[in-house]
Amino acid sequence: MIDVEHLFFKYRARSDWVLQDVSFKIHHGAALIGPNGSGKTTLLRVLTGFVHPKRGKVYLHGERVKKTKDLVGKVGYVPTNPLNML
């Protein structure tokens, strides 16, 4: 299970919040869906450690995730267009 508490994220210091006070729990087998521009990709980038939240906490199976290496072998992310990641 992934547990997210009061997550805040923005790309630049003076930009608007992309994620603002987001809290939820994800159980095994859950999917993340939503309209374009709603923050799905940003949320996944935070959860997988590609970017770091400005505030908030992420837990994986009850243990706080502090570094990307904490997720290796435990969480996977397959983007819609993986070739764009190169």
Mean pLDDT by 10 residues, the chain (86 residues): 93 91 91 88 84 90 78 70 65
d(CA 29, CA 83): 25
pTM of the model: 0.74
How much is the pLDDT for 7?
95
Domain that holds residue 66: 2-85
> Nearest Cα to 32, choosing from 76, 84, 86?
76
Q: What is the CATH number of the domain that holds 17?
A: 3.40.50.300
Provide the number of structural domains found in the chain.
1
Q: How far apart are the first and last CA of the chain?
A: 29
> Nearest Cα to 10, choosing from 57, 33, 49, 43?
43
DSSP class of residue 24 equals E
How much is the pLDDT for 73?
72
